[in-house]
Structure 1
Amino acid sequence: MNPSNSNEKSARKEIEKFHLLLNHQAMIPAQCYRMSDNLYSLVCFTNQIVALFISKNYQMIPIFIERVLKQLQRVESQPGVIGYRHLVYDYLCQVSYYLAQFGDLDEEWFNSRIPQELLDAGAQNAPEYDHEKMVITLPENWLLGR
């Protein structure tokens, strides 16, 4: 197996781990699926990225990354969403990394939409999830406020 193919599979596998957690009841903020909730747009835009990624429609993902980042800024100081905010941000970093390395997108268009801070973050690891115990282990830096 060629190393770049192995790296792509590894990066994709990590994104799949994020996908399992982004709507997990232990991570998702209460009431966020109600259209009147101020987190509704954040959750919907994030889930749009999930759907686009699964569909391999990578070209549109940067548009939704921009939208999610705006929503993350809007809810930055809202209590009860710290873990979800960190999960989404790290997910955006991992997706941006994947697209930059393996997405075959127009570089100028991609770079005009993805902030440098996401690109500089590089590959990210999803929190560990024990399927038997149904327990998510959050990274320590999330608990410290990063």
Structure 2
Amino acid sequence: MNSPLPSAKAARKEVEKFHLLLNHDAMIPAQCYRMSDNLYSMVCYTNQIVALFVSKNFQMIPVFINRAYKQMKRFEDQPGTAGYRSLVHDYLCQVSYYLENYCNLDPEWFKDRIPAEISEGGSKAAPEYDHERMVIELPAHWKIVS
């Protein structure tokens, strides 16, 4: 169930801003849609969260947050993935924040499935996208090294 609170609407809008970027050409690692690619599972789990969120099936999202997080950590040293992993990390934190504060999920279900780093990450802002220049403004805290 969605909360009617104005702060819930703002948090949900921030999640929706992430949705626009998660599969953007500038963000996704090369070859990540190939089943043989190391990041394929993380991309699929993340996109499953998007689908569950859009369909308002919030109950199952913690399961996929956990799966996406494990895959994100598994390949944290893989070259060329820092931007996407940072985006996914902040997205998982924002979705977790939304679920915990504005959805009526069983607290034990939530706590048992979402890693502390994510559940304690707090609200995160999605990177800004300049539609005119077609450029994504990356947050300074991402510290992406080429």
Same fold (TM over 0.5): yes
| Aligned residues with identical type, % of pairs | 67
| Alpha-carbon separation, structure 1, partners of 2:120 and 2:38 | 29
Provide the secondary structure at the position in 1 that maps to 2:83: helix
> Segments of 4+ in structure 1 off by > 3 A?
none
Matched with 1:102 is: 102
Provide the secondary structure at the position in 1 that maps to 2:31: coil
Matched with 1:48 is: 48
Structure 1 residue 119: Cα displacement: 2.0
Matched with 1:121 is: 121
| Alpha-carbon separation, structure 1, partners of 2:112 and 2:35 | 30
Matched with 2:6 is: 6
Matched with 2:93 is: 93
Structure 1 pair 144–35 and aligned structure 2 pair: CA distance change class (3 A): closer
Alpha-carbon contact 2:83-2:144 (below 8 Å) kept: no
**Residues matched between the structures, number:** 142
Q: Cα RMSD between the aligned structures?
A: 1.1
| Alpha-carbon separation, structure 2, partners of 1:28 and 1:142 | 15
Structure 1 residue 16: Cα displacement: 0.4
Provide the secondary structure at the position in 2 that maps to 1:121: coil
User: TM-score with structure 2 length normalisation?
Assistant: 0.94
| Alpha-carbon separation, structure 2, partners of 1:129 and 1:46 | 20
Deviation string, structure 1 residues 60-118 (Cα, Å, up to 9, x no partner)? 00000110011001110000000000000000000000000011001111111112222
Provide the secondary structure at the position in 1 that maps to 2:77: coil
Structure 1 residue 42: Cα displacement: 0.7
